[in-house]
């Protein structure tokens, strides 16, 4: 059923476009439709955490417009179209302006920024930076703001803090955990990064959360759980992302934290696949660029008639804090690891061993130059 219909990709972010490009390598002329909820412009999303210090306008990040992408990918590119519902039996997806049949449907709908509950009349002014459209909306107030409060001391929160500090702004970061990047890095590495950011002028409110944001004549009055208050010009939330699962859930697909897929990225419904930040495989969310690329390569083969499983290599995570760049890979969070630490004025290298076998590493500063060799060792183990 629907063999003559196109491959339809819902989402024109990194996942959707990488899949389209990989698919075109295997199927140069097969019918392809890409559905975008916005204008479909391609941009480097990781660069959103550096726009303030680089003084970039939103349009500076755009590398290709939808019309150029349509030509490159030989695809019908539908912009400003919301996917409203899926009829799996008929193999159609209902858009805001039309009903679209599909041979195979791929959900690459990404994730949305999560804002924790906050009281007060300034809560509507809390900024998230999860897309080019959001940055375009908040570009002017972000540039004008001098006193910035960041909610979240994870990867994006730390990168934003670094960027705002580089731009000469006063930065405060709050988080309910006791240290930065606590879910990603071992204690010695997160403490190193926190120290460097502190020396650059960042203030930390750790083991603390924002409970209210009130408008005042001098800005926004931020009140924390411990009763401390702070006057800021803007509040930026980087508390985490939540996979977009509503479309999948209403279509009857199995959903947990993300859209559940198997190792071929198939959902629980025939002819519907998912990849990227919206997916969950084997209980894990993998919200980074390299897993998306690996997934896109495998799924493109499957869609082209060569069923392929996703095989995860050891994939590094880069923390793009220019004051102290950090890279990690493998197992760096287990309690039974034996660490070998090499630290000097230029940075640090931590090697994690289990039963005398290298199972993970962390590098920081100039020591990140050693990451490639360490990654090679991990992939050989």
Convert the pLDDT of each residue in 200-248 to its tens digit: 999 999 999 999 999 999 999 999 999 999 999 999 999 999 999 999 9
Convert the pLDDT of each residue in 35-91 to its tens digit: 999 999 999 998 999 999 999 999 999 999 999 999 999 999 999 999 999 999 999
Compute φ and ψ for 69, nearest 5 degrees.
Answer: -65, -40
The closest of 246, 293, 283 to 16, measured between CA atoms, is: 293
Cβ 44 vs Cβ 61: under 8 Å:
yes
Residue reference for tokens 């990918």: 73
The closest of 109, 141, 104, 139 to 122, measured between CA atoms, is: 141
Compute φ and ψ for 229, nearest 5 degrees.
Answer: -125, 160
CA distance 24 to 21: 5
Looking at residue 165, the DSSP 8-state letter turns out to be H
Residue 189 has pLDDT above 60, yes or no: yes
The secondary structure of 257-288 as a DSSP string is SSEE--TT-B-SSTTEEE-STTEEBTTB---S
Kindly state the tokens that stand for 292: 């998306």
The model carries a pTM of: 0.93
Residue reference for tokens 């009055």: 221
The closest of 238, 205, 239 to 223, measured between CA atoms, is: 205
Cβ 171 vs Cβ 164: under 8 Å:
yes
Convert the pLDDT of each residue in 141-183 to its tens digit: 999 999 999 999 999 999 999 999 999 999 999 999 999 999 9
Cβ 205 vs Cβ 176: under 8 Å:
no
């Amino acid at each position: 059923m629907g063999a003559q219909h196109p491959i339809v990709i819902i989402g024109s972010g990194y996942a959707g476009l990488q899949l389209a490009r990989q698919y075109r390598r295997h199927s140069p002329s097969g019918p392809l439709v890409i559905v975008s909820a916005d204008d479909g412009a391609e941009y480097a999303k990781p660069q959103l955490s550096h726009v303030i210090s680089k003084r970039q306008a939103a349009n500076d990040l755009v590398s290709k417009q939808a019309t150029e992408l349509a030509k490159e990918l030989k695809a019908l590119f539908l912009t400003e179209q919301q996917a409203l519902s899926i009829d799996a039996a008929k193999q159609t997806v209902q858009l805001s302006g039309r009903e679209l049949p599909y041979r195979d449907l791929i959900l690459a709908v990404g994730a949305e920024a999560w804002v924790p509950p906050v009281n007060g009349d300034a809560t509507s002014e809390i900024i998230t930076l999860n897309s080019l459209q959001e940055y375009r909306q908040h570009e002017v107030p972000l540039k004008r703001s001098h006193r910035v409060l960041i909610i979240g001391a994870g990867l994006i929160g730390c990168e934003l803090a670094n960027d705002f500090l580089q731009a000469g702004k006063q930065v405060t970061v709050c988080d309910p955990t006791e240290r930065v990047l606590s879910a990603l890095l071992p204690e010695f590495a997160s403490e190193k990064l926190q120290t460097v950011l502190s020396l650059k002028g960042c203030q930390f409110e750790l083991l603390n959360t924002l409970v209210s944001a009130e408008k005042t004549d001098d800005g926004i009055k931020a009140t924390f759980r411990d009763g401390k208050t702070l006057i800021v010009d803007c509040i930026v939330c980087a508390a985490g992302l939540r996979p977009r699962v509503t479309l999948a859930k209403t279509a009857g697909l199995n959903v947990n934290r993300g859209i559940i897929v198997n190792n071929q990225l198939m959902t629980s419904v025939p002819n519907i696949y998912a990849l990227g930040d919206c997916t969950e495989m084997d209980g894990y969310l993998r919200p980074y660029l390299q897993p998306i690329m690996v997934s896109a390569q495998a799924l493109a083969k499957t869609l082209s008639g060569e069923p392929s499983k996703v095989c995860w290599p050891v994939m590094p995570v880069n923390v793009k804090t220019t004051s102290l760049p950090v890279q990690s890979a493998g197992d760096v969070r287990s309690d039974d690891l034996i660490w070998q630490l090499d630290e000097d004025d230029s940075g640090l290298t931590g090697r994690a061993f289990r039963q005398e076998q290298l199972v993970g590493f962390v590098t920081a500063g100039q020591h990140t130059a050693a990451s490639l060799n360490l990654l090679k060792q991990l992939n050989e183990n």
